[in-house]
Amino acid sequence: MTMSVPERNSGSEGKEEESEDESEILEESPCGRWQKRKEQVSQGNVPGVESASLAMDTEEGVEVVWNEVLFSDKKVFKAQEETIKEMFENLMQVEHPNIVKFHKYWLDMRESQARVIFITEYMSSGSLKQFLKKTKKNHKTMNVKAWKRWCTQILSALSYLHSCDPPIIHGNLTCDTIFIQHNGLIKIGSVWHRLFVNVFPDASVHGKARTHRDEQRNLHFFPPEYGSSEDDYAIDIFSFGICALEMAVLEIQANGDAAVSKEAITNAGQSLEDPLMREFTQSCVRHDAKLRPTAHDLLFHRVLFEVHSLKLLAAHCFISNQYLLPENCVEEKTKSFDPNSYMAEIKHDDRPGVQLKYSHVSPLELDKFLEDVKNGIYPLMNFASSRPHPVPRALSLSQEQVETVKTPTPEPQETETRKVVQMHCNLESNEEGTKTHLSLFLKMDDKLHRQLSCDILPTDTSKDLANELVHYAFINEEDCEKVAGFLEDAFSRHRVRALASGTTQ
């Protein structure tokens, strides 16, 4: 008699099967763009979020996070539905290179329960806390230049949030909710934490709300006044100060599982050798909230402030106008130069001058530097504060006020949130003059551009065309009048040219 024994999978085969199991598609968004997978991820605990899974953005080909908020009581959900829509519509308008992107949301009504599903950017490289632990484990110290660059990026994001009108308070800034990418880019996650606390009270959401406030190991990130007074920017500044301190010393030692003591924080601050770093962190964690500096003020602190190099200023100017230049502009331009010729010379009366050749600059290094600037690693912050960013009031309403907010739109619609900053158009009529072909070029405020073309009839008005662009989410509603005026001027000039050449439109 023979006996067949099933072969055991090797370790690698087992891992492959496990990986395939985790990548199994469990659900799709109504539009088909987002595909939920089985693998669970952690991107910073947020009140009310029952689960966070890895998902695929099929349009961009990148991984994202699929978040779900479950309501077991549909009546409670219905009562809050308009407020929820208002909040999520506003969240989609928060845009900054150092803030985790909020992509999309939708509501899902079922017989037993209701769900709110929202898609956020996936930070694949892990949290700042994880990075600091690895650095300490390898017996390394924090590089001062990296510390300054990270502080600048975090403060850049906080300055943006606090300068919104009305201000947005993060309220949950810890090393667990700050993420670092492989290229050194820092992003703040869980920006919607305080909003969720107001909109999703514990009693109305299925399951228990999980917050960092309840975790002993993170209590030291929160200031003494947290929870006992109204939200203020000083809360975020205190939390940032602890983050900056942990970045410098890698870890503030706690006594076992207990919370980090005030004495441990003081000792960590005193251990900093650089007096400016010591002063910088101590100013953030002052007991009196009124004495803490603003995020914008901290960007001008002596430990961070520096005069931007001409190279960085030129890079920002290049990125701002990149839509006007060919894709491989840097590479093609540098090829045409003689590497031994001089591109600049600094002359001195009392000593020899300095001559710079084209061969001293690597095109690959320039491309990488431009990419880093574009991604937000080197923000321009040492200038006067820009005007406040207008954000709908629901972003910072108290719980009582949020409950009274109503929106006239019954269902969330696809809209264009970006603003048009520059326009070009071209009009060409057929020989009979019965119709005209319109080519419209729009530069958006995120430096991307949109090119549209269509045939228009003599009966079409500029206002009708602009309204149609709004309806199909090609332009923001606030740009409708501006685009209509631009098109009307273009039509008038085209009619004059047509009459001059003996053709009528």
Give me the pLDDT at residue 418, please.
82
pLDDT: is 184 or 448 the higher one? Answer: 184
Q: How does residue 1 score in pLDDT terms, banded at 50, 70 and 90?
A: very low
Dump pLDDT digits (tens) for 87-120.
888 788 888 889 998 899 998 887 777 888 999 9
Q: Which of 26-40, 292-306, 412-426, 459-473 has the lowest mean pLDDT?
A: 412-426
Among candidates 487, 505, 485, 482, which has minimal Cα distance to 495?
505
Per-residue pLDDT at 28 exceeds 60: yes
Give me the pLDDT at residue 385, please.
42
Give me the pLDDT at residue 293, please.
94
Give me the pLDDT at residue 386, please.
44
Is the alpha carbon torsion for 444, 447, 448, 452 positive or negative? positive
> Can you give 7-72 as a three-state secondary structure string?
CCCCHHHHHHHHHHHHCCEEEECCCCCEEEEEEECCCCCCCCEEEEEEEEECCCCEEEEEEEEEEC
Residue ranges of alpha helices (H) inside 3-46 are 11-22
Residue ranges of alpha helices (H) inside 92-192 are 128-137, 144-162
Residues 6+ apart with CB under 8 A from 146: 184
Which structure tokens are listed for 104? 């999309």
pLDDT: is 315 or 166 the higher one? Answer: 315
Rounded to whole angstroms, how far apart are CA atoms 132 and 116?
34
In terms of C-beta density within 10 A (0-12 exposed, 13-18 middle, 19 or more buried), how is residue 141 classed?
exposed
Give me the pLDDT at residue 388, please.
47
Q: What percentage of the chain reaches a pLDDT higher than 90?
A: 16
Which structure tokens are listed for 500? 């001059």
Q: How does residue 277 score in pLDDT terms, banded at 50, 70 and 90?
A: very high
Per-residue pLDDT at 227 exceeds 70: yes
Rounded to whole angstroms, how far apart are CA atoms 481 and 463?
8
Cis peptide before 166 (omega within 30 of 0): yes
Name the average pLDDT for the chain: 77
Per-residue pLDDT at 155 exceeds 90: yes
Give me the pLDDT at residue 455, please.
80
Dump pLDDT digits (tens) for 351-367.
888 887 777 777 777 77
pLDDT: is 346 or 387 the higher one? Answer: 346
Rounded to whole angstroms, how far apart are CA atoms 235 and 239?
6
Among candidates 379, 44, 294, which has minimal Cα distance to 178?
44
Per-residue pLDDT at 294 exceeds 90: yes
What's phi and psi for 78, nearest 5 deg? -60, -35
- The label of the residue with tokens 């331009």 reads 333
Length of the chain: 505
Cβ atoms of 84 and 64 closer than 8 Å: no
Cβ atoms of 100 and 43 closer than 8 Å: yes
Per-residue pLDDT at 417 exceeds 50: yes
Looking at residue 151, its amino acid is C
What's phi and psi for 202, nearest 5 deg? -55, -40
